[in-house]
Structure 1
Amino acid sequence: MKLNRRAFIGTGAAAAAALQAPNVWGAAHGRPKVVVIGGGAGGATVARYLAKDSKGEIDVTLVEPTRQYYTCFFSNLYIGGFRDLSSIAHSYGTLASEYGINVVHDWATGIDRDAKTVTLAGGAVLPYDKLVLSPGIDFVDGAVPGWDLNAQNKMPHAYKAGSQTELLKAQLESMPEGGRFAMVAPPNPYRCPPGPYERVSMVAHLLSQINPTAKILVVDPKEKFSKQALFEEGWNRHYAGMVERIGPDFGGDKVEVDPGAMTVTVDGVVEKVDVCNVIPAQKAGRICEIAGINDGNWAPVDGHSMVSRMDANIHVLGDATNQGDMPKSGFSANSQAKVAAMAIRGELTGSKVFPAKFSNTCWSLIDTDDGVKVGASYQATDEKIAKVDGFISQTGEDAALRKATYEESLGWYAGITADMFG
């Protein structure tokens, strides 16, 4: 029997039970166990590659609380009206049924590094030989005075996709005529460097369709941002007079909010707004802190294998890492997951391991068929993951090239989600 082709247990109560608790068949037969926490671009990919390439030699358990995963990448296109929400939603059924992965829908609440176990909120304890953490981001407490998670329904962050994305779009659609949208942008480093500015573009596109006299205020603590010349060129071309950005020279780094009054205070000046998107400073998902593998807000890793610099049995992927030159993106996490899977499989089964190489591309949509991109290739050094070379779209490109860039991004989305979820 091919162990990686084990049938996922039917439907109804049996299927629910299989999702709630890991299959313990491997414990009796001595297969090495890998537990993966987090089912996004890093976690889902590493789980799939470990199961697929080991051909059942490794027992893989994926712990992810949500049954439906919404990609943060491309969520801005839902806000802009270019996609519906279901198009960025993905389930884990294929990983279970086709690859024999034990998919457990629960929260990981504890890690005992000495005993090599993970404790889940439901009470289960999962033993591991290797642990992979790919929890994405959490927010730094107090990063924006006046805002915390209790305020996320009044001033959504929408930087974890799903209900927050849906809420922000609904608020935008309900803005009064000629109203004002504000975004509080995050400081470096954060998930998806071009993301806030693609969001500004998509908000502007939506408002230009339904509320053309509305205004957008961007309050930004950074002097410069990813693809700045491309975004500013696009805003001037497509949304002239709609977008105003306040950088640190004019108080963009001195901001506080009042969700009850719907105000944003910039360097002491109070601005009344109708909708406010607060994207706070970020840190590694909390399970990294629980595991004790953070150095400050992020988890340092060795780029050759994505192994934690604090525990040789834990690998960390994606947004949560401090790894060097790669941006925090879905493409990066997917690329890192393949390196980690190869390293883990080599250690557990003796398979061949090749030198680590990585790549990343981030596409952004500015307006209909106006796509831009930035990307690079990377290699591992003993100090970090180092950038080798890069590319970026240029200002002044013709419409045919911009359309081709957008269409390229659609192909990439289809490809990466298939690579993640099978």
Structure 2
Amino acid sequence: MTLNRRTFLGTATAASVALSAPMALGQAKPRVVVIGGGSGGGTVARYIAKDSNGAVDVTLIEPSRKYYTCYFSNLYLGGFWEFDALGHDYGNIARLGVNVVHDWAVGVDRDAQTVALASGESISYDRLVVAPGIDFVEGSVPGWDVSQQSLMPHAYKSGTQAQLLKHQIENMREGGTFCMVAPPNPYRCPPGPGERVSMVAHVLSQINPTAKILIVDPKENYSKQALFEEGWERHYPGMVTRIGPDFGGDRVEVRPDAMEVVVDGVVETVDVCNVIPAQKAGKIAELAGLTNDSGWAPVLPSDMRSRMDENVFVLGDASAQGAMPKSGFSANSQAKVVANVIRGELTGSRIFPARYSNTCWSLIATDDGVKVGANYEAGDDQIESVSSFISQTGEDAELRRQTYEESIGWYNGIVADIFG
């Protein structure tokens, strides 16, 4: 099925329809607090407020007044998308009745069922949704930490890091080297590094055609590998070199001040270095005691409920749930399940069995779009894939163009679904 804004929103709405039970006269509204206003948190806040018809008091805690999506930021790097088009505010969510608080959540008292804010305020809840996205694992790339992100940007969280990386790419010396240090599994948006390389190659092929791209990757293989490598050979022959673990891709150090990358003891001088470190759940999930030794927050597959606390749900990138990739589509899909469950528990409305889905699109070159996706259901212990699909190598140009156009429709649809 071709996905556009209308079909995306129509499918989402049909999946979430439920009649709210009336509350007793004079009864205080149940309170839901959502931490994080991205694809997961924004969606769950909006859907609970919209579908409960005011029967639930919803507070969304998000420090940023404008949220910039990580998905499609690679297309911004490649010149296919404007930076301002990545940004979305919370005005429509607030108009639905959500209390939007622009502050940092700095602690959770799960016994008292309160969330502490950086301002010193405290907000109580009956149900808590934690959707903080990712943070980086300290020391996972020797020589790099967040204090070095101006010299070697990660550009793997929403915001101005993408602008910095784009500026560095466009101002590389002629014939210079762009290096990406790719992350180990699991990480946000599995095809993201491959798409980023494609978009950097697209720009360099136009403004700096003798430049080179070096990928240092600790993984044996990566998402859409055959599709990306076919595309790089077709569109950017000889430009991209990847070093995997067999040749030292898992033994890397960076020296930001000298702009050096050390791969298995061999020093490479580079002009731009995009370091994407190992990842874990956003800090507040750890502070709330919702993570385990993996750094991620384990949840029940049936409803994304924390395995640590029955009144807390963790969704999106921060969760350890099984087979679903960490993506905006996944977070949005999980959020609708969570919204349905919370609304049902607090208002007596119907709760539907959990069904999840995901698609990840990537652009390799102009009109050369590819995708991968699956449908999922709750297994006994984790979310499991029940069907999947992926673009094939050798597809004709028209199909690839249609896939790219499909991704544009999806983006317009999902941001409307999240932000209204």
Give the TM-score taking structure 1 as reference length.
0.93
Counterpart of 2:210 (choices 210, 213, 216) is: 213
Of 52, 68, 71, which residue of structure 2 is paired with 1:70?
68
SS for the counterpart of 2:257 is coil
The equivalent residue for 1:301 is 299
Question: 2: distance between equivalents of 1:237 and 1:264?
Answer: 28
Give SS of 1:371's match.
Answer: strand
Tell me, yes or no, if structure 1 residue 273 matches structure 2 residue 270.
yes
In the alignment, the residues of structure 2 paired with residue 104 and residue 161 of structure 1 have an alpha-carbon distance, to the nearest angstrom, of 19
Residue 174 (structure 1) shift:
0.8
Question: Partner letter of residue 95 of structure 1?
Answer: I
1:161-216 per-residue CA deviation (whole Å, 9 max, x = no partner) reads: 22100000000011001110000000000000000010000000011111111000
**Aligned match of 2:383:** 385
Residue 129 (structure 1) aligned with residue 151 (structure 2): no
Find the counterpart in structure 1 of residue 34 from structure 2: 36
- Give the percent of matched residue pairs that are identical in Structure 1 and Structure 2: 71
Of 239, 248, 253, 1:251 maps to 248
**1:285 alignment partner in structure 2:** 282
Q: Aligned pair 1:314/2:312, yes or no?
A: yes
2:102 matched to 1:81? Answer: no
Equivalent AA in structure 2 for residue 323 of structure 1: Q
Match of 1:57 in 2: 55
**2:173 maps to 1:176:** yes
What are the equivalent positions in structure 2 for 1:19-30 lying under 5 Å apart? 30=28
C-alpha distance after superposition, 1:9-54 (max 9, x if no partner): xxxxxxxxxxxxxxxxxxx961000000000000000000000110
**Matches of 1:290 and 1:141 in 2, distance apart?**
16
1:124 deviates by 1.0
1:116 paired residue among 97, 109, 113: 113
Tell me the distance in 1 between the aligned counterparts of 2:59 and 2:27. 16
Residue equivalent to 2:150: 153
Could you list the per-position Cα deviations for residues 353-406 of structure 1 after superposition, in whole angstroms to 9, with x for gaps in the alignment?
A: 111000000000000000000000000123011100100000000000000000
Partner of 1:46: 44
**Distance in 2 of aligned mates of 1:192 and 1:152:** 20
Is contact 1:34–1:129 with CA below 8 Å preserved after alignment? Answer: yes
- In the alignment, the residues of structure 1 paired with residue 209 and residue 27 of structure 2 have an alpha-carbon distance, to the nearest angstrom, of 65
In 2: Cα distance, 1:141 partner to 1:284 partner: 13
2:393 is matched with which residue?
Answer: 395
- Give the letter aligned to residue 135 of structure 1: P
Asked if 1:414 corresponds to 2:412, the answer is yes
Would you say how many aligned residue pairs link Structure 1 and Structure 2?
Answer: 394
Residues of 1 paired with 2:354 and 2:128: CA distance? 19
1:264 maps to 2:270: no
Whole-angstrom CA distance in 1 between matches of 2:149 and 2:120: 29
SS of corresponding position for 1:44: helix
Q: In 1, distance between residues paired with 2:358 and 2:321?
A: 14
Deviation for aligned residue 1:329: 0.3
Give the Cα separation in 2 of the matches to 1:189 and 1:303.
18
Partner of 1:231: 228
Aligned partner letter, 1:345: R
TM-score, scaled to structure 2: 0.93
SS of 1:302's partner is coil
TM-superposition CA deviations, 1:201-260 (whole Å, max 9, x none): 000001111111100000000000000000000000000000000000000000000000
SS of corresponding position for 2:335? helix
Q: Deviations for 1:251-306, whole angstroms, at most 9, x for unmatched residues?
A: 00000000000000000000000000000000000000000010121000011111
Task: Kindly state the Cα deviation for residue 131 of structure 1 after the two structures are TM-superposed.
Answer: 0.4
Name 1:24's counterpart in structure 2.
none
Residue 338 (structure 1) aligned to one of 336, 339, 342:
336
Q: Which residue in 2 is equivalent to 1:204?
A: 201
How many angstroms apart in 2 are the aligned matches of 1:194 and 1:175? 25
For residue 155 of structure 1, give the secondary structure of its aligned residue in structure 2. coil
Conserved? CA contact 1:147–1:257, under 8 Å: yes
The structural deviation recorded for 1:60 is: 0.3
Contact persistence 1:302–1:382 (CA under 8 A): no
Q: Is the 8 A contact 1:318 1:333 kept in 2?
A: yes
Q: Which of 102, 107, 115 is matched with 1:105 structurally?
A: 102
List, as ranges, runs of 4+ consecutive aligned residues in structure 1 with deviation greater than 2 Å: none
- Letter of the 1:243 counterpart: V
| Residue identity opposite 1:398 in structure 2 | D
Q: Distance in 1 between matches of 2:304 and 2:348?
A: 18
d(CA) in 2 for partners of 1:388 and 1:412?
22
| Whole-angstrom CA distance in 2 between matches of 1:367 and 1:80 | 9
Q: Give the match for residue 19 of structure 1.
A: none
Q: Which amino acid aligns with 2:417?
A: D
